[in-house]
Structure 1
Amino acid sequence: MQFRTKRINLVAGVVGALTAATLGLSATPASAGGSGRSETAPKTVAAEVHCASFTWVAIGGGLYLHRPSTSANSGNFNCVVVRGDHNYAVLALQESLNACYTQSLKEDSDFGLLTEQAVKNAQTRINSIHGPVLSVDGRFGPITSSYFSFEMYRQDGSHTGFCV
């Protein structure tokens, strides 16, 4: 039994070290009481994936949300929409900012200074409802998206003016 435990720990250590090496991190073996990352090692951040389009999310009754995603109808919401982006994800975001957060943005698919401020306004409002759950940084990422209210659309794509 002791051999099996050592073998499992060895395999776990090797997998952890390989994962850390792949990500460019310094690994501390679990048996040494470390958390898997050295406190002094440089932290690497994976490249951000920008939302390029939106996904139609069915909510029932022939109604849908346009939620920013990595590509059209991908269902992958692990992406960001930030200043400088110009695409359908920005348009979907601007429409919901106007309808759900009473912003007065030109819906032009261009994430500029005004859209960034509108996202900050929405983040501030979300924090006033849920507590300090978001950084008010004007970046629309997965965490902001999870608290965000989106405008509902009919099956033909027409706006309802209502939000969920």
Structure 2
Amino acid sequence: MYNGKWNCTMPQGASGDHVRALQKTLKSCYGQNITVDGDFGQVTKSALKSGQNMTDPMYPNVDIVGDGVYGPITAKYLSHYATRNGSALCGALH
């Protein structure tokens, strides 16, 4: 489960606001056609794999594995969705 640190892991089966945030990121930043429902099921796992595979070429020195598990490396290098002053933004947290 997400613990607010880079050493978190969020696998299939997780649920809650942290999953909603991930789903919103995958939908808004990576163009994945998924429902933002807070449940990390097979559709979210597949969308995350696609997002991981899209991210990898941007960081040639970082080994981002397209395994569908949101772990420390994915947390650091996957672009994240946020809003600021009403505008949507996508950007990596590192």
State the identity as a percent: 33
Instruction: Give the TM-score, by structure 2 length.
Output: 0.85
> Are 2:24 and 1:100 aligned?
no
Q: Which sections of structure 1, spanning at least 5 residues, go unmatched? A: 1-49, 52-69
Match of 2:73 among 143, 146, 149: 143
CA offsets, 1:107-153, max 9 Å, x none? 00000001001110011111122236211100001111111111121
Alignment of 1:142-161 (within 5 A): 142-154=72-84, 160-161=87-88
What's the offset of the Cα at 1:81?
1.1
What letter corresponds to residue 86 of structure 1 in structure 2? S
Q: Which sections of structure 2, spanning at least 5 residues, go unmatched? A: none
CA offsets, 1:13-58, max 9 Å, x none? xxxxxxxxxxxxxxxxxxxxxxxxxxxxxxxxxxxxx11xxxxxxx
Alignment of 1:1-164 (within 5 A): 50-51=1-2, 70=3, 75-131=4-60, 133-154=63-84, 160-164=87-91
- Aligned positions, number: 90
CA offsets, 1:49-69, max 9 Å, x none? x11xxxxxxxxxxxxxxxxxx
Q: Select the structure with the greater relative contact order (CA < 8 A; seq sep ≥ 6).
A: 2
What letter corresponds to residue 138 of structure 1 in structure 2? G
Instruction: Give the TM-score, by structure 1 length.
Output: 0.51
Say what the alpha-carbon RMSD is for the aligned residues. 1.6
CA offsets, 1:58-102, max 9 Å, x none? xxxxxxxxxxxx1xxxx4232111100111110010001111111
CA distance in 2, matches of 1:96, 1:114: 14
What letter corresponds to residue 130 of structure 1 in structure 2? Y
What's the offset of the Cα at 1:161?
3.0
Larger Rg: 1
